[in-house]
Amino acid sequence: MSGGVDSSVAAVLLRQQGYEVVGCFMRLGSPGETLDELVMPAHDDAPACDPKRIKIGHQGCCSVSDAADARQVATELEIPFYVVNFKKEFGRIMDYFADEYAQGRTPNPCVRCNDWLKFGKLHDYAQQIDADFVASGHYARIERDGDTDVALHRGVDSAKDQSYVLFGMPRAQLARTLLPIGGLAKPEVRRIAQAHNLPVFNKPDSQEICFVPDNDYAGFVERRRPELKSQGAGVIQDTDGQPIGTHNGQHRFTIGQRRGVGMALGYPIFVVGKNAAANTITVGSKTDLQSTQCTVAEANWLAAMPPAGQNLPCMVQYRYNSDPVAATVSSLDDAPLGAHSPSGRRGRFAITFAEPQSAVTPGQAAVVYQGERVLGGGWIESVG
């Protein structure tokens, strides 16, 4: 339970369905917090576990005030509420974020948090307390066809759909996950919260990365990796490799960036390339941002894929706030990928777009869909 309206309503719906619900807040480490402030059961007379016990995961931000909101909701619902201390594990997310920028890529920490913590460590914790499922307030759906076919689908509310950030969930965890609000629109979720007297019914959605609340990404990266601040000025070059200016560090720029480049050429310019080793950025026109294909690593498949060399028509979403586009994908492994693999996470695949796409960015996730179903995805490593 994150302290937001979505996970709070997820708890309401699960209780209505007859599950025993255990609220759980992931303590990730916020400035000024102490663990003693947070670890307080909300309901002292919690019933014993039964086969339908569920633990609610955290979706959203992670401040002390969020923990207080989550505890207040748990009290209102008369469910036990506990805090799990994942502060040490969350350091891995922050290191990943800083390292990706340092290496010239653009990270997505929310996807990694889902992979490593919410549907990784949290599932481990659920097993320790004999919970059958982990549930969260994500806007996505899990469809079950019998005992074997479990599929991840987009949420009904297309404006809030979060299936993109869940693609990295191990297939084995998918069967042990519940997403109660995936079939609802956001206004309906707020209405349910208000009807149940939940104090968070009108709480605004979190917009920023939880460990960079001031949105100063470069400052965070430099504090985490101070050597970047001392590396000196870098070169801004054009698409022919000719120096045309200087900058204060390639980690301060992202592919597709237009504002804040610090120079003018008489026409709109964009960051179209970065070289972390040389500390250079390349600028060009909007046309120079176009690409027709990319290579993706750390593949995680939630459905079976064709063998290497066979193209699969599909839709691909390569940024969180973008629409899926027509493409084909093909495995770059020698063996088929998919459900036969215990982890589902193997190798690399290639994407070829039906039409050139703008600002396909190394470090971002590329997620593969057929209709509403998430087939899998991975992390963009190169663009062509």
Active site residues: 113, 210
Beta partners for 316? 325, 368
Phi, psi of 146, deg, nearest 5:
75, -155
DSSP string over 193-234: HHHTT-TTTTPPPP-S-TT-TT--HHHHHHHHSGGGTTS--E
Q: How far apart are CA 344 and CA 188, in angstroms?
A: 35
Q: At what angle do helices 5-16 and 64-77 cross, to 10 degrees?
A: 20
Quote the tokens at residue 70.
Answer: 């989550």
> In whole angstroms, what is the distance from residue 380 CA to residue 367 CA?
10
* Beta bridge partners of residue 94, listed in sequence order: none
For every residue of 98-137, DSSP letters joined together read HHHHHTT----HHHHHIIIIIIIIHHHHHHHTT-SEEE--
